[in-house]
Structures are given as C-alpha cells and as structure tokens.
Structure 1
C-alpha cells in the first residue's frame, strides 16, 4: 500500500485543469504550474470575448490577472519529476500485478486497493484518488466496515425477530387447520344423519351437499396450507440470510466484507396472511330451505351449529357485564356501578382518565370471553343502537362514512337496531333482517363452535341473527348509542 507521503506527492503532480499527470509542465509568474496545452487553451478561450470588451489573462488557480499574455517556459525540474513518476507507476504496476492477488488490484489502474470511496461505493487505488475520486469522500477500509457491520448486525436482529413472528403465525395456521377440520367433519356428520331420515328423492341433494362441504374444506385447507408453505419458505430464506450474514460478519478480510456486503439484501417484512374461515352457515342455508318444505319437525332438533336453539335465560352460562369507563366516549354517561350507559350530547361526561377512548359513541365491557358458552342480556331505550362483540384490537378512531366501527372489520360483529328492521354487520358487509323491535335483547356466544347469536326477548325468545366464524382471540361486548339513547346491562343473581 502506498504511503500517505507518496499519495500527496502524486496529487501535486496533477494538472488542476485536466486532472492528469503534467504533460510539458510550465510555470506562470504567480508560481502555479499547468500543462502547456491546458493553459494555452484556457487563455485562448479568454481571448474569445466580444469586440470592445476588455481582454485579460488569469491564473486558474489563484485568479491573478496579467495584462499581457505571459511567456510560457517549460519547468524542467517538474517535468523530470513527472517522468520519474510515470516510470515508477509502470514498474510498480507490473510488479504488483505479480505479487498481489487479482481481486486486490484496481480493475482500472492495476494498483492495490487502498481506500473506500463512499460516493461511488467501491474500493479504490491511489490513482483513483487523484483522478476520479479527488473530490469524493474517502475512508479507510476499517472505518467503512465498522459502519457496514453495524447495519448488518441490525439486519440480523430484524431477521431473528421476523423468524419468531413467522413461527407464531405458522402455529396459528396449524390451529386454524385443526379447527376447520373439526368444524367441517362435525357438519358433515350432521348433514349425513339428517338426509338418512328423508325419502329417496332427497338422496341426490344429500351427496351434492356433502361434496360441496368437502370441496369447501379442501379449498379452505388448501389456502391454509399455502399460507403455511409461504411462511415456511420465508422462514427458510431468513435462515439462509442469517447464515450468510453470520458468515460475512466472521470474515476477517475487510475488502471481501465490503465487496460481499451489497450482495446480501436486507430481509423484507412479510405480511401476516388473513385467517382462513370455514363458513358453515352459507352451506347450511340452502339445505335448511329444502328441509323446511319437507318437515319443520326435522329442523327443530338440528344442532346449534346449524339452527341454534334459544339459550336458557336462567342457566349457569349467564354473565353479568359492566362497562369499562376507560374506553367510553366522552359523551357517554355511565351509572355508578357501570351497568348503564346514556348518550348525553349536551356536556362531556365523567372523568377524563388516561388511556385510549373511542372517538365514536361507543364503549367496551370490562369482561372478555374465550372458550365455552356465554350469555348476557341488555335493555335498550329505543332504536338507533348497535350491540356486538369485538377483539380488543377494535380501532379507537371512527371510520369515514360511518358513525360506528362495530362490524366494519374482520375482528368485530354487530347487530344494528333500526326503527323498522335490524342490520347484521361484519367485515363492512350488512345483512337486513325483518323482525319486530325488541327492547330486551339476548346475546349467546358459543366460542368453541364459532357461533354468535342475537335474540329478541318477549313472550318467547326469537332468533334474530346468527354469525358463524372461527374465533381466535377473546371477545368483548361492545355498544354504540345514538343521541339520547340508553343501554342497560341486565344483572342476575
């Protein structure tokens, strides 16, 4: 590697006009040196001024002016030094090509690679420093490697975190596979037993229905398997990335490290696949229509996953709920025991506690429910309310075009009570249900079967609507109240 003194000496032998080693160097009265042809061309351009304009000659280095064009004499000493430098460059280039490995030589000049150019992102030799990279940012290999090594370590940490996240996603996908299999097999068993009781005329419908269930199961499992394979492939790529990154970090050669570093791309963050759902309700609906025409008696004892029965209102599954004041919109006034919520638009209600609050007129319940069966009842003062359940991740802000966000995403389900009907909301889609308005409403959640049902409570319990889904997180009761409306959580001993 050339010494710093030799590098500075080579820089002094370069013409500031052409940035090459001097060719026939000449000296001006101000003491600066240039190639004779370079300074002559420079002054020739200064002479090409419009007629009548003042002519003059200046030094390109110090801008000193001369009234007359100076006489140029060859700098004999400088010319000899330049020739020696040219000879030395040729000899060193020849010897170093033999002594230094090909990968350690500059591909343009054949000189040893000594510095790293940050502007051009490549290793350079001393001639590159003088010619192409004189005004660039140049650093030692060790300094640049230290920066790149920090970036690589950060990339390795991100890859490890991403691997853990993907493993968790893959575990959830495996759980979805088991849930879909259990749901589909159970539904197939129910359908087969029911069609066995019907006449021979319904046998064709039986096998068509079973085939459709198996087709939907295969499609759902196929999607889950594709997601699992995608996660597995991504995990393998991250493993390869970690191995290459660790190997590169252990590389003792700075040049090899810097040359290999750009070839190792940073791992990209992969989006978590949307959970695959097995919609049993959509397959049961046409069957129920056929069976209804044949015999209503056969439908009355279908299991809850097909046609859910009304829950026992005094059973052990009844839950006493309370509102969570920390989540309540500022216009919702809660009772002392947090069992009654009233929309009071005239003033801000309650203490402003720390933590997130709903921007829409909504409030969550404190209780969240997972496995098992759960039932609760509420009393509404009038229409223009929404009751439902949601994962804890329901957004706190509102959604443009809607006064509420219950049922507008894949993690919440809602029943909107209107003056003339009900609207069932999920994933932003609504289904209209024509049914009379009930002041008392019951909600039944069978978490394991993925069944959420809403009932009207009168002389008898009337099913209003049921949702069929595969639940993956605890569900929290949630409510939206229009101005002047009141919702009361019914309590039982």
Structure 2
C-alpha cells in the first residue's frame, strides 16, 4: 500500500523497469541501478539515459543514500509486487508493446529474430544486430513477393512442360502405331519378294544343273559310242591278223573300215558356280546393305594418331589411347606380311616383308607367280571368322583390297591394277581428291579424303568388308557385302614413289591356321 502511495515510478529504474538495486545518482539528478548504468555505458557514450547530459570525465558514481534507505523501509511492499513478465517468444507475442518493458515495439533484433522495444536495445540486445521494425518488415515482404513471383513462374513452366510432355507422348504413341503398321506391311511384302526370288534363283540353278548334266549325258553317250567303235575295230583287226590264208587276208583287209577318228579335247561343261553365286550376291547385296549397314560414326571420338612412318623406318607403335570403335576392331587384329613371290618387279620389300616401296627401276626379274601389274599380295589368307589389319600409306594413289586365289597375275587392257575389276576381288582406291570402291568392274565414287593410316575389317561370318580411315578420327569409308565362298588374300596396288607399311602390334593375335579355319567352318 505504501508503494502505491509513493508511486511505482519513484522506486523503478528507467533502464530495467524494476525496483532500484543499489541506486546511484548522476550529476544531473537522475537515478539508476548501479549495475544498469554501468552496463549501458559499456556499449554507449557516458550520458544520462534520461536527459542525455554527459557524465564528467573522472567523476564517480555516488550512492543515493535516501533512495536506498527508502527501499530498505519498503521491502515487503516491493516483494508483494508481481514479478516482471519474461519476454515472450515471437510466436506467442501478438501485442504492439513489449511484454517486458511495456514500451512500443519499434525495432527488430535480427540476431534473435524478435520484435523489441528501445529498452531491450539498451539492455538485452545491446550487442545484437538491429533494424527499425517497419524497414525490416518492408524488406521481408519484398523478399516474399519476389519468391512468390519466381514460384509462379516455375509453376507456369512446369505446367507448360507437362503439357508438352503429354503432347510428345501422344505423338510417340501415334507414330509408333503407324510405324509398326508400315513395317509389318513392308516386311510382309519383303518376305513375299524373297520367297519369290528364292524360287526363281533355285529354278535358275536347277535349269543350269539340267543343262550341264544334259551336256554331260550327251558327252557320255558320245564317248561310249566311240569306245564301242574302237572295240569293234580292235576285234576286226585282231581277227584279220589271225587269218592264215593270204588271199582271204587281203580280201578282208580291202573291206576293213577306216580307224575311228581322234576325239579331241573334252569340252568344258556349261556350269559356272561363281556365276551362280554372283547372281545371288547381286540380289542380296542391296538387302544386306539395308540390314547391316551402320551409319558413319561422326562422334566416335578421336582416334589415336600414330607417328608418321618414314620411307625406310619401322612403323611406330600405336598409342594406347584410342576411340571405342578402334578398340573393338583391335580385338581381331592380325599382323600381316607381304609375299615376295607375288610382288611386281618394281616393288621393293623391306623390314621383314612388312614394308613395300614402288621404285622407278626394276628390282628383280619377274617370277612365275609375280604380278605384271604394280601389285603385291599378302602371305596370309582368311576363310572364316573376323579379321582386322592396318596399313599406313606415304601418299595417295594406292589401292587396298582382298581377292580370291585366282586373281590374274597378267596385265589386261590399259588398267595398271585389276583389284575389283572382276567378280573375285574387292578394292578401295585412294586418289588425291576422291575415293573409288571397285567390284566386278563397277565403281562407286565416294566423297571425302581419308588420312594416311587406314584399317580393313573383314567379317566372313556376316559377309562384310569394311574400310576405315583412322586419322584424324576413326571413320568408316565404305562397306562391301558379299557371300565369300573362297579364301581371301589381302592385296595392294601402289603408284611410283609410294610406300605402304603393314602396321604390326606386339599383342595382336596370329592369323588362324588351316585347321582353325576348318574347325570354324564346321
């Protein structure tokens, strides 16, 4: 009751808003708790919190004896007062005044994330980062509005992408249905055409067989008749030689028929298996191209670049780093050598028959098995499986190919090579400004200029012969499709001054021998 008569403001510190504790008086006459004023001066200037009058330098705080005595006389009245309410959490504070100090909430404590009054900034939040409440509110609202704009844009973009995805799904379903129907129809037509072509081809083979067998039967009858006539003539002569009577001998000799004429050479039967097989190849080759041809890999990765090969130097080792396509081809790598017996007399072999150079003067006399053309054949041949080899050319104007054993060694016509000129060989001619693919006398001109390092991949199982350029990147140049029926020998042609080097790799597999080829065929 006495505290109420005196007034709470008279016994309350204006800093902590609690009853004075060890009150002190400043020169201006205002009183504060001793601890409160010292804490306030640690972060602020030494002025009076009430009137802002500076505190003199060197002055000391004086204890307010009268106020201390008054507070000691009223201990019970002060204890009866309700304790100060602690500051509420921001989620529980909805009033516009500080729950502890009762003052307006004018500031925002960024450190604690709370709305505070001016008294809080002096005591509890004096070391915290603070801002005006209205300024902080506007800043936070601007951030939220910006987030809402971005969120709505994301929602709009997601909805647009969802619609586009649904449209693509519908297009894919429609396209797949149409494509499946078209493919089914085409395969049905293709099966019918194949069956029809199969029947015609078998009929052609049967007709050719009958003609050849008919010719053989005719020759058999002719030879049989000839043998019978010879036998009859032999018996007549033996009977005449056994006649004792001279008159009868000369009489019968006069009536003896003339001896049977000589038969002459046996005519060849009109049966050409190679021609029949070429007919099948011509029919199947376009189909094989559609089914087996791979698109040229423009992004297969840069191939490993082997160093340049000197005309008289050994081939360099290929670096280990290479593109995936070339790594796959290397699984069937073969080390080849040139066959000296087949080399043209102007071709010089060196480096253990791994390098051939076209000289301007003859290097030897022509042998019985050497080419009259500027060509050389490899010692190795392949009849089954898959095989890959690489060759480096010193310049353009060279031809790489494969051939059956019966490739002619003689020069016919004006051509300086015969690789791909007939049905038994396939060749790729590298010119200065173009590439030519030759087979059976037909040429296909290709675009592009390959590098000097070239690769050849022969897959006898699938009937594919691929040529690759390996510099500056691995790129397929051309593919031949055929049903290979005989062993294939690598064969090469080169112009004057050119050098070809067969690249050898230490880890390469050896070419399969005849027994391995026979087992692969069975």
Q: Structure 1 length as normaliser, TM-score?
A: 0.51
Task: Choose which of 390, 405, 416 in structure 2 pairs with 1:377.
Answer: 390
Q: Secondary structure at the match of 1:329?
A: coil
2:354 to 335, 339, 355: 339
For 2:328, the equivalent position in structure 1 comes to: 312
Where in structure 2 are the equivalents of 1:457-468 lying within 5 Å? 457-458=470-471, 461-468=474-481
Could you say which residue in structure 2 is the equivalent of 1:348? 362
Q: Which of residues 275, 283, 290 is equivalent to 2:287?
A: 283
Q: How far does residue 415 in structure 1 lie from its aligned partner after superposition?
A: 0.3
- What residue in structure 2 maps to residue 138 of structure 1? none
Residue-by-residue CA offset, 1:63-95 (whole Å, 9 max, x unaligned): xxxxxxxxxxxxxxxxxxxxxxxxxxxxxxxxx
Alignment partner of 1:215: what SS?
helix
How far apart in 2 are the matches of 1:386 and 1:233?
44
2:339 equivalent among 308, 315, 324: 324
Q: Structure 2: how far apart are the matches of 1:336 and 1:361?
A: 19
2:464 match: 451
Give deviations 1:360-380, integer Å, cap 9, x for gaps: 211111111112222111111
Task: Specify whether residues 257 and 328 from structure 1 end up closer, same or farther in structure 2 by C-alpha distance, changes over 3 A only.
Answer: farther
Which sections of structure 2, spanning at least 5 residues, go unmatched?
1-175, 238-252, 296-324, 507-522
Could you state the TM-score of these two structures normalised by the residue count of structure 2? 0.48
Q: 1:240 aligns with which of 221, 225, 231?
A: 221
Distance 1:339 1:266 in 2: 45
* Cα distance in 2, alignment partners of residues 393 and 257 from structure 1: 50
User: By how many angstroms is 1:258 displaced?
Assistant: 3.8
In the comparison of the two structures, how many residue pairs are matched?
A: 279
Who is 1:253 aligned against? 236
Give per-residue Cα distances to partners, 1:279-321, cap 9 Å, x unaligned. Answer: 32312446789x99xxxxxxxxxxxxxxxx8782321x22111
| Residue 201 (str. 1) matches residue 205 (str. 2) | no
Deviation at residue 395 of structure 1 after TM alignment: 1.5
Mapped partners of 1:414, 1:401: distance in 2: 18
In structure 2, what is the equivalent of residue 229 of structure 1? 210
Aligned pairs for 1:27-176 (under 5 A) are none
Q: Which runs of 5+ in 1 are unaligned?
A: 1-194, 293-308
Q: Which of 497, 508, 521 is 1:484 aligned to?
A: 497
RMSD (Å) for aligned C-alpha atoms: 3.3
Assess, with a 3 A threshold, how the Cα gap between structure 1 residues 211 and 463 changes in structure 2: closer, same or farther: farther
2:441 alignment partner, one of 418, 428, 437: 428
Give the 3 Å change call, closer, same or farther, for CA 250–310 of structure 1 in structure 2. Answer: farther
In structure 2, relative to structure 1, the CA distance for the partners of 1:236 and 1:436 (3 Å cut) is: same
- d(CA) in 2 for partners of 1:262, 1:207: 61
Residues 1:396 and 2:397 are matched in the alignment: no
Distance 1:266 1:421, change over 3 A: closer
- Change in Cα spacing, 1:487 to 1:239, as seen in structure 2 (3 Å) is same
Aligned to 1:41: none
How far the C-alpha of 1:452 sits from its partner, in A, is: 1.6
Say if 1:389 and 1:284 are closer, same or farther in 2 by CA, change over 3 A. closer
- Taking structure 1 as reference, are residues 233 and 327 closer, same or farther at Cα in structure 2, changes over 3 Å only? same
Displacement, 1:250? 2.3
CA distance in 1 between partners of 2:207 and 2:339 (Å): 40
- Higher Cα radius of gyration: 2
Distance 1:219 1:433, change over 3 A: farther
- Whether 1:366 aligns to 2:379 is yes
**Mapping 1:184-223, distance limit 5 Å:** 198-223=179-204
Alignment partner of 1:407 is 2:383: no
Deviations 1:210-248 (A, max 9, x none): 222223323332222222222222222233233323322
Structure 2 counterpart SS, 1:314: helix
Displacement of 1:407 in angstroms is: 0.8
Residue 238 of structure 1 aligns to a residue in which SS? helix
Partner secondary structure for residue 312 of structure 1 = helix
